[in-house]
Chain A
Amino acid sequence: MRLRVFRWGLSVAVVVAAAIAGERAASVQAVPQSTGTAAQAPKPANAYDSTYQPLPSRPTVIRNATILTAAGPAIERGAILLQDGRVTAVGQTVNAPADAVSIDAGGKWVTPGIIDTHSHLGVYPSPGVEAHQDGNEMSSPNTAEVSAEHSIWPQDPQFDLALAGGVTSMQLLPGSANLFGGRGVTVKNVPTRTPEGMKFPGAPYGLKMACGENPKRVYGQRNTAPSTRMGNVAGYRRAWQSAKEYRDRWRRWRDAGMDEEKRPDRNLQLETLAGVLDGEIRVHNHCYRADEMAIMINVAKEFGYKIASFHHAVEAYKVRDLLAENNICASMWSDWWGFKLEAFDGIQANIPLVHEAGACAIVHSDSADGIQRLNQEAAKSMRAGWEAGIKIDRVDAIRWLTINPARALGIDKWTGSLEQGKNADVVIWSGDPFSVYSRAEQVFIDGALVYDRNDASRQPRRDFTLGILPTGVGR
């Protein structure tokens, strides 16, 4: 993960920035206590709930397109109808109302909106200066109490660039400096003034965890724990044990009649971990090496939680059977390797091998550049699969970008495939999305045309770009 690595090169500056961010977090007003159900630890109240509202839309029918639905075979010269924010019909032909906007997409391709499980947009915005380093709270190896949503700068112009790449949803995560980096939040890629305005309604929080070199380097260099991989694992186990005890404390209190005098203290850090144990928060675990993924599966078994996805997972191919057995996704790059030792065994066939084993394979970006071209990353992986003799095609590869990430994020019942009743998160590509020459032409989110490559008035521009980007900068 080069991005983070470079930023650690600015460690002094970053620590200062992190300290400032912490100060802001402390000034956030106290959250009202929710009543919750008797068996559970306290849940976060709704102060930070999504305020997302779909943008205005008109019924729209797209015809004559090659449609990759991520839920079945490709449909040649097919049609799809978007109404009231949903996909209401998809197939060879559809019956559209008379007032529907009709788009002839002859020669073009239609796919679900692309979903990135691993992004730092908004928490590491452009311009990438010290003042913007808000993604790694590098003040303790366990900062499960922080949440990326409290660092997101909605005016990050990188959101606009990702939209031009067809990305409709993404998980914004804290960095990987810590064993427990904090909560990640899944957003819809729409322009808003507040982070809550982007939050994907109903999407569960993620918890960012990190294996391997990063935490042990960051804290080892300070002569504090962890400084080894075994120190990392001890750190996870200690925290999960505390979380279990915390959850049990609250359970006992509730079972005993919720005497206000005896209410346990609320602990924001343990509350997040308890949320994982209760199955409400999904673990997203930065982990490169096969052996470390196997260990993390054991840790999850010891404490009774589930890992939604390993991230980066450059050695996922070595344990793809284990991932399939345990129903864990792997969010991977196409061809990143060698930038550190735990990435040394990365191979280009990683994604197709994981796919072939029946595990949930995902192309992720972890990069403000890569997120603009996730379709190209998938294309390279598809080719590497062919070269390895793996029988895959575009119908398989589209899943790596859409329904599989939706599944890892817990939003697959709403988005990730073009099926009747799902959110109308749709991309029209100028051609085969796995060609280097194709580009997203139109992007719909909940049925609203949010981006149109051929209409400047349909190209969101975040505040930062005004009056500072040169005229004619283009994309």
Chain B
Amino acid sequence: MKILVAEDNVMLLKTIELKLIKEGYEVFTTPDGRETMKEIIRLRPDMIITDVMMPYASGLEVISMVRQQLKWKTPIIILSAMEQEEVILNAFDLGADDYITKPFSLNELVIRVKRLLNRNN
């Protein structure tokens, strides 16, 4: 299973990457929204985990591209801060499947990833 993780905070990105690799997933990472859009098309991942606030293009723009332009149903989890309630609502409106607020439990993230992947398979 290929998971693309988009996050411009290196520490968070590496934390998620290491955890998901340990769980047996093939993990790809991108540091900004523009790169994420390119990698989504190139890799066609089974899941996308994306931050909201990223350089060049936001996580919301990434969701919009996947759902409206590509018309793909790839599961998408949003990483957001506690105070970004409105953003989370926008993300769901655009087609995000789930969200997790920072700081988060890595075990909880893995449960959410498994649940979504199972649902889609």
Chains A and B form a bound pair: no
B interface with A by C-beta (< 8 Å): none
